[in-house]
Chains A and B, each alone.
Chain A
Amino acid sequence: MIEMHDVWKVYPNGIEALRGVNITIDTGEFVYVVGPSGAGKSSFIKLMYREEKPTSGVVLINGVNVKRVRDWKIPHLRRKIGVVFQDYKLLPHMSAYDNVAFALEAVEVPTKQIQPRVEEALELVGLSDRMKALPSQLSGGEQQRVSIARAIVNNPGFIIADEPTGNLDPENSWDIMYLLEEINMRGTTVVMATHNKEIVNTMRQRVIAIEQGIVVRDEIGGEYGYED
Chain B
Amino acid sequence: MKIDTIRRHFREAYRGIVKNSWMSFAAVGAVAVTLMIFGVFVIFAVNLGSITDEVGDNVSMNVVLKDEVTKEQATALTTKIKGLPNVNDARFISKDEGVDEVKKNLKDADFTRVLQKGENNFLPNLIKVTPKNVSVSKGVEQAVKGLEGIESVKNSNTAKELLDSVLLFKNIILVFGVGLAVLAAFLISNTIKLTIIARRREIEVQRLVGASNWFIRWPFFIEGGFIGFVGSVLPIGVLLLVYQGFVKMISGGSQNTNLLQMVGFADMAMYLTVSILGIGIFIGVFGSVLSIRRFLKI
Which residues of A pack against B, CB within 8 Å?
49, 71-72, 75-79, 83, 89, 91, 102-103, 105-108, 110-111, 150, 154
Contacts and interface: CB of A to CB of B under 8 A. Distances in A.
A79 to B, nearest CB: 4
Contact of B209 (A71, A72, A79, A110): A79
B20 interface: no
A108 B5 contact: yes
Nearest to B213: A72
Contacts of A102: 202, 205-206, 209
Nearest to B209: A103
B210 interface: yes
Given A89-B201, A91-B201, A91-B202, A107 B211 contact: yes
B4 A111 contact: yes
A103 B211 CA distance: 8
B209 A108 contact: no
Contacts of B211: 75, 106-107
Nearest to B5: A108
Binding site of A, secondary structure by majority: helix, strand, loop or mixed?
helix
B8 interface: yes
B106 interface: no
B294 interface: no
A78 B215 contact: no
Contacts of A154: 209-210
B205 A75 contact: no
A107 B5 contact: no
B213 A108 contact: no
B128 interface: no
Nearest to A102: B205
Nearest to B298: A71
A109 B122 CA distance: 93
B215 A79 contact: no
Contacts of B5: 108
Contacts of B213: 71-72, 75
Given A107-B210, A107-B211, 10 more contacts: A72-B212, A78-B209, A89-B208, A91-B202, A102-B205, A106-B211, A106-B215, A108-B2, A111-B4, A154-B210
A79 B204 CA distance: 14
A78 B201 contact: no
B204 A89 contact: yes
Contacts of B8: 105
Contacts of B95: none
Nearest to A112: B4
Contacts of A105: 8
